[in-house]
Structure 1
Amino acid sequence: MRTPARFALALLLLVLAACDQAQPAPTPVVNPQWKSVELPLPPGPAGRVLARDVTRCGDRWYVGGGVGTPAGDTRPALWSTTDPAGATGWAPVPLDTASDYYAIRSVLYALGCQDGRVAAIGAKSGGAHGNPRVRTFYSRADGTLVAVPSRDFELYGGGRQVSVNRIAAGPGGWLIAGNRAGGATVWTSPDATAFTIHEDLPTLANSPDLSTFASDLARLPAGWLVVGGGRLAGRIDRDPYVWTSADANVWNRVPLPGTPDDETAQRVARTADGLVALGVAGTAFAAWHGDAAGATGAWSGATRFGATGTGAVAAVDGVAVLETASRLVVSTVGADGHRLWTADLAGKGWQSMTTPVQVGPGGNTAVTVGGAGDTMLLLTDDGTAGGLWASQFPRA
Structure 2
Amino acid sequence: MSPARVRPVLAAVAAAVLLLAACRDAPSPPAEPAPEPVRPDWRVAELFAPVGAAGRPVLRDVARCAGRWYAVGGLVDPVGETRPVAWSSSDGATWSPLPVRARTFYGRQHVLYAVACRDDGMAALGAKAGGVHGNPRTGTWVWRPGGPLREVPAPFELFGGPRAVSASRLAAGPGGWLIAGARAEGAAVWTSPDAEGFVLREAVPGLAGDGRGRTAAYDVAAVGSGWVAVGSLLPPGGTARTPLAWSSADGRAWRRAVLPVPAGAYGAAERVAQLDGGPVAVGPVGDGFAVWRACDGCGRQPSGPADVWQRVGGFGAAGPGVLSVDSLAASGRRLVAVTGDGAQRRLWTSRDSGVSWRPVITPVPMPDGGDTAMVVAVHGDVLLAVTDGGMRSQAWWGVVPGIDQ
Q: Do these two structures clear the TM 0.5 threshold for a shared fold by scoring above it?
A: yes
Q: Name the CA distance, whole Å, in 1 between partners of 2:347 and 2:65.
A: 23
- Kindly provide the CA deviation profile for residues 185-225 of structure 1, in whole angstroms up to 9, marking residues without a partner as x: 01011111111111111110011222100011111224111
Cα displacement (A) at 1:77: 0.6
Pairing 1:240–2:237 present: no
Q: Name the CA distance, whole Å, in 2 between partners of 1:175 and 1:282.
A: 30
Q: Which residue of 2 aligns with 1:188?
A: 191
Unpaired stretches in structure 1, ≥5 consecutive residues: none
User: How do 1:212-223 and structure 2 match up within 5 A?
Assistant: 212-223=215-226
Instruction: Report the secondary structure of 2:156's partner residue.
Output: coil
Cα displacement (A) at 1:118: 0.3
Q: Which residue of 2 aligns with 1:280?
A: 284
Alpha-carbon spacing, 1:199–1:28, altered in 2? closer, same or farther (3 Å) = same
Pairing 1:347–2:354 present: yes
Q: Which residue of 1 aligns with 2:162?
A: 159
Q: Which residue of 2 aligns with 1:81?
A: 89
Aligned pairs, number = 381
Q: Which residue of 2 aligns with 1:318?
A: 327
Q: Which residue of 2 aligns with 1:131?
A: 135
Unpaired stretches in structure 2, ≥5 consecutive residues: 1-13, 296-301
Q: Name the CA distance, whole Å, in 2 between partners of 1:9 and 1:174.
A: 66
Q: Which residue of 1 aligns with 2:266?
A: 262
Q: Name the CA distance, whole Å, in 2 between partners of 1:139 and 1:27.
A: 41
Alpha-carbon spacing, 1:196–1:296, altered in 2? closer, same or farther (3 Å) = closer
Instruction: Report the secondary structure of 1:154's partner residue.
Output: helix
1:94 to 89, 92, 99: 99
Q: Which residue of 2 aligns with 1:303?
A: 313
Q: Name the CA distance, whole Å, in 2 between partners of 1:280 and 1:36.
A: 30
Q: Which residue of 2 aligns with 1:26?
A: 34
Q: Which amino acid aligns with 1:348?
A: V
Contact 1:276–1:290, Cα closer than 8 Å, also in 2? yes
Q: Which amino acid aligns with 1:314?
A: L
Compute the TM-score of the two structures, normalised by the length of structure 2: 0.89
- Tell me the C-alpha RMSD between the 2 structures: 2.0
Q: Name the CA distance, whole Å, in 2 between partners of 1:241 and 1:364.
A: 28
Cα displacement (A) at 1:321: 1.4
Q: Which residue of 2 aligns with 1:334?
A: 341
Contact 1:367–1:379, Cα closer than 8 Å, also in 2? yes
Alpha-carbon spacing, 1:77–1:345, altered in 2? closer, same or farther (3 Å) = farther
Contact 2:343–2:368, Cα closer than 8 Å, also in 1? yes
Q: Which residue of 1 aligns with 2:386?
A: 379
Instruction: Report the secondary structure of 1:11's partner residue.
Output: helix
Cα displacement (A) at 1:290: 1.5
Instruction: Report the secondary structure of 1:236's partner residue.
Output: coil
Q: Which residue of 2 aligns with 1:227?
A: 230
Q: Which amino acid aligns with 2:67?
A: D
Cα displacement (A) at 1:13: 7.1
Contact 1:272–1:345, Cα closer than 8 Å, also in 2? no
Q: Name the CA distance, whole Å, in 2 between partners of 1:57 and 1:295.
A: 24
Contact 1:258–1:302, Cα closer than 8 Å, also in 2? no
User: How do 1:10-21 and structure 2 match up within 5 A?
Assistant: 11=22, 14-15=25-26, 18-19=27-28, 21=29
Contact 1:166–1:178, Cα closer than 8 Å, also in 2? yes
Contact 1:57–1:117, Cα closer than 8 Å, also in 2? no
Larger radius of gyration: 2
User: How do 1:53-72 and structure 2 match up within 5 A?
Assistant: 53-72=61-80
Alpha-carbon spacing, 1:12–1:215, altered in 2? closer, same or farther (3 Å) = same
Identical aligned residues as a percent: 43
Pairing 1:390–2:400 present: no
Cα displacement (A) at 1:394: 3.8
Q: Name the CA distance, whole Å, in 1 between partners of 2:391 and 2:312.
A: 36
Q: Which residue of 2 aligns with 1:357?
A: 364
Contact 2:312–2:355, Cα closer than 8 Å, also in 1? no
Alpha-carbon spacing, 1:222–1:143, altered in 2? closer, same or farther (3 Å) = same
Q: Name the CA distance, whole Å, in 2 between partners of 1:214 and 1:137.
A: 21
Contact 1:255–1:296, Cα closer than 8 Å, also in 2? no
Q: Which amino acid aligns with 1:289?
A: R
Cα displacement (A) at 1:372: 1.2
Contact 1:49–1:385, Cα closer than 8 Å, also in 2? yes
Q: Name the CA distance, whole Å, in 1 between partners of 2:284 and 2:132.
A: 34
Q: Which amino acid aligns with 1:97?
A: A
1:147 to 129, 145, 151: 151
Cα displacement (A) at 1:365: 0.4
Pairing 1:370–2:381 present: no
User: How do 1:34-45 and structure 2 match up within 5 A?
Assistant: 34-45=42-53
Compute the TM-score of the two structures, normalised by the length of structure 1: 0.91
Alpha-carbon spacing, 1:26–1:258, altered in 2? closer, same or farther (3 Å) = closer
